[in-house]
Amino acid sequence: MNHHLRGPELPPARGPLSAAVAAYLRGTGPLPGPDGAGDADPYGDDLQLALYLCYELHYRGFAGVSPEHEWDPGLLRVRAALEGRFLSALRADTPGHDSLDDALAGLLSEPVEGAGVSHFLRDEGELWQLREYAAQRSLYHLKEADPHAWVLPRLWGRAKAAMAAVEFDEFGGGRAERMHARLFADLMTDLGLDTAYGRYLDAACAEMLAVVNLMSLFGLHRALRGALVGHFADVEITSSPGSRRLAEAMRRTGAGPAAEFFYDEHVEADAVHEQVVRHEVIAGLLAEEPELSADVAFGIDATEYLEDRLARRLLGEWRASRSSLRVPLVPETAHTY
Q: pLDDT of 124-148, one tens digit each?
A: 999 999 999 999 999 999 999 999 9
* Domain covering 100-319, topology: Heme Oxygenase; Chain A (1.20.910)
Average confidence score pLDDT of the chain: 93
- Integer Cα distance of 65 and 70 in angstroms: 10
- Compute the average pLDDT of residues 19-34: 93
* pLDDT for res 114: 57
Percent of all residues in the chain with a pLDDT value above 90, rounded to a whole number: 82
Indicate the pLDDT class of residue 1, thresholds 50, 70 and 90.
Answer: very low
Positive or negative: CA dihedral 222, 276, 309, 260: positive
- Integer Cα distance of 244 and 249 in angstroms: 9
Q: pLDDT of 231-251, one tens digit each?
A: 999 999 888 899 999 999 999
Comparing 97 with 265, the larger pLDDT belongs to: 265
Report angle CA 295, 92, 14 to the nearest 5 degrees.
105
Are 219 and 291 in contact by the 8 Å Cβ rule? The answer is: no
Q: Domain spans of the chain?
A: 16-93, 100-319
Contacts of 97 (CB under 8 A, 6+ apart): 103, 106, 297, 300, 301
Q: pLDDT of 154-171, one tens digit each?
A: 999 999 999 999 999 999
- Integer Cα distance of 325 and 178 in angstroms: 29
